[in-house]
Amino acid sequence: MNYQSWLRRLTPLNRRKVLKHSMAAGGVLAAGTLSAVGASKETLAVSTWTPDPTFYPSPRSAMKAPAETLAYVARINPNGNGQSDAICVVDVDPASTAYGTVIGELELTYPGDELHHFGWNACSSMLCPTAAHPHVQRRYLIVPGLRSSRLYVIDTQPDPTNPKIVKTIEPEEIAAKTGYSKGHTVHCGPDGIYVSALGAPDGGGPGGIFVLDHDTFDVRGRWEVDRGDQYLHYDFWWHLGYDTMITSEWGTPEMVETGIQPELLLGAQYGHRLHFWDLRRRRHTQTVDLGKENQIVLELRPAHDPSKTYGFVNTVVSLNDLSAGIFLWYRDNGSWAARKVIQIPAEPAAEEDLPPALKPFKAVPPLVTDIELSVDDRFLYVSCWGTGELKQYDVSDPFNPKETGSVRIGGIVRREGHPAASGPLNGGPQMVEVSRDGKRVYLTNSLYMTWDEQFYPDGINGWLVKLDADPEGGMRFDERFFLDFGDQRPHQVRLQGGDASTDSYCFS
């Protein structure tokens, strides 16, 4: 889609905004083009911008894009020795002599941030009719420190292997302008950069979402106008074509920062609900309870096709049997509903092989901590951090998933290895990221330092691995790709040009 075609799709108000911004930029378009988009004769100084080539109007076009050659990985320092966390640049080009190695690293300003789910400043939602930001590039990484509540803005240009910090937003500013702390997840939207936060600066709630400006990265303020009965918060995403936001629940900072608290878990005090919102009006419209026994509702993965009104979310542990669940949300007679479509059981284990928190149960729960949906909405990937398994499901029929693949690596008990590693591995499949074309899957093994220590008390040695996915189902380890981080812990992975969990689309 070229600039002129995109401009025609805008609402009159947003078209005027774009033209006003264009005049400030000092570019020129032909008078015929101005007439075609309905601009006045006075608007002669308009830019000839074209949208960033890594923005795609549809999932189908995104899947045809060139393969990524770089990945950005959050590296956490758990040692308390004054060394900062870092964003590492990893070569993921199989033709490169540096394939599977760190070729650049940016250490952040302060120690102890504990980087989490960072994201791009802009993505394919810039091509939505409601967007007025053709000048925005997928250039900056917005990186939250979950423990520090600090935000970094990192420029990946002009040299993508040598990123630089260009702005730091301190927790005091975020607290003063939003009332929130513990920034967790970043998504680029058509009207701003959205950041989720677990709670309030005093450690309580409520948690929610705040918004940054696309151009200045200034904190605009809290997103919610009317939050209804929402209090706990974790993830968020949306169905842009239906003006619907969805949010999930984990716990307030004081509920999660020191690790999982058994009395809260057994008392069903962690999150177990989904919340639906009017995205345009920023108002809560509906709550769907997944059942108090389904504790800790985490990652939201809506269908990428904007004409579809469903998505998947994981629950970490069932109080009934330690299983984990995958729920489908969907439209039902004009409202939202949810049902469990996958249940993954706990695995029996000898008491002596288990950490103290699990010894009484004589079993290891799967502890599903991340899921990912391929851009074609066909395959769902499920990370079982406890049992050390990555599962792949065909969800072409979202109400009836079918398991099509599984690999084992790490795990609380199994400690499965990798073809390119010597000896057993700890941690387990945690953050999972899928390439736009669905052919490559990246895995890291650290969750959150205090939770790492509870379930892997001997410590986690960090690793990043890559799998090759078969278009018809199934997956296998890339034996050439095993990146050993030693005592450092990798978390979120972001792929150059976007990936399966960064972009939202407005066209099918």
The count of domains in the chain is 2
Based on DSSP, count helices (H) and strands (E) in the chain, helices before strands: 8, 30
**Contact 379/406 with Cβ under 8 angstroms?**
no
Whether the per-residue pLDDT at 16 is higher than 80: the answer is: no
Q: Does any domain span residue 309? A: yes
Picking from 200, 180, 191, 197, the residue whose alpha carbon sits closest to that of residue 238 is 191
Whether the per-residue pLDDT at 378 is higher than 50: the answer is: yes
Q: Tell me the two tokens of residue 476.
A: 């296998």
Mean pLDDT value across residues 275-286:
98
Residue 8 is predicted with a pLDDT of 57
Residue 180 is predicted with a pLDDT of 98
Residue 46 is predicted with a pLDDT of 40
Whether the per-residue pLDDT at 445 is higher than 90: the answer is: yes
Q: Does any domain span residue 211? A: yes
Whether the per-residue pLDDT at 14 is higher than 80: the answer is: no
Same domain, 42 and 116: no
Residue 354 is predicted with a pLDDT of 97
Residue 131 is predicted with a pLDDT of 79
pTM of structure: 0.91
Picking from 496, 499, 401, 413, the residue whose alpha carbon sits closest to that of residue 456 is 413
Same domain, 234 and 186: yes
Same domain, 373 and 316: yes
Same domain, 20 and 80: no
Mean pLDDT value across residues 192-207:
98
Residue 27 is predicted with a pLDDT of 37
Indicate the residue type of 321.
Answer: D
Same domain, 24 and 96: no
Q: Residue 77 belongs to a domain with what CATH number?
A: 2.130.10.10
Same domain, 28 and 76: no
Q: 340 or 24, which is more confident? A: 340
Give the whole-number percent of the chain exceeding pLDDT 90: 88
Give the whole-number percent of the chain exceeding pLDDT 70: 90
Q: Does any domain span residue 56? A: no
Same domain, 40 and 169: no
Same domain, 17 and 149: no
Q: Does any domain span residue 351? A: yes
User: Which runs of consecutive H residues, i.e. helices, occur in 26-142?
Assistant: 31-37, 59-63
Whether the per-residue pLDDT at 15 is higher than 70: the answer is: no
Range of the structural domain that residue 362 is part of: 71-495
Q: Cα dist. 469→66, 181, 300, 356 in Å?
A: 17, 38, 22, 36
Range with lowest mean pLDDT among 4-13, 106-115, 381-390, 440-449: 4-13
Same domain, 114 and 27: no
Same domain, 187 and 99: yes
Alpha carbon distance, N-terminus to C-terminus of the chain: 13
Which band of pLDDT confidence, cut at 50, 70 and 90, is reported for residue 45? very low
Q: Does any domain span residue 300? A: yes
CA dihedral for 163, 503, 124, 230, sign (positive or negative): negative
Q: Does any domain span residue 504? A: no
Q: Tell me the two tokens of residue 324.
A: 């984990």
Picking from 287, 285, 307, the residue whose alpha carbon sits closest to that of residue 297 is 287
Picking from 156, 139, 128, the residue whose alpha carbon sits closest to that of residue 52 is 139
pLDDT tens, position by position, 135-193 = 789 999 999 999 999 999 999 999 999 999 999 999 999 999 999 999 999 999 999 99
pLDDT tens, position by position, 281-328 = 999 999 999 999 999 999 999 999 999 999 999 999 999 999 999 999
Whether the per-residue pLDDT at 33 is higher than 60: the answer is: no
CA dihedral for 61, 64, 66, 68, sign (positive or negative): positive
Same domain, 354 and 212: yes
Mean pLDDT value across residues 372-396:
98
Q: Does any domain span residue 57? A: no
CA distance 158 to 160: 6
pLDDT tens, position by position, 452-479 = 999 999 999 999 999 999 999 999 999 9
Q: Does any domain span residue 58? A: no
Mean pLDDT, the chain, whole residue set: 92
CA distance 471 to 394: 11
Q: In what order do the strands lie in the sheet with 283-289?
A: 236-239, 244-247, 273-278, 283-289
Residues 6+ apart with CB under 8 A from 433: 71, 372, 441, 442, 492, 493, 494, 495, 499, 500, 501
Same domain, 91 and 29: no
Which band of pLDDT confidence, cut at 50, 70 and 90, is reported for residue 28? very low
Q: Containing H/E element for 17?
A: helix 12-25
Residue 130 is predicted with a pLDDT of 80
Q: Containing H/E element for 262?
A: helix 262-266
- Locus of tokens 């070229």: 2
Residue 498 is predicted with a pLDDT of 97
**Contact 125/240 with Cβ under 8 angstroms?**
yes
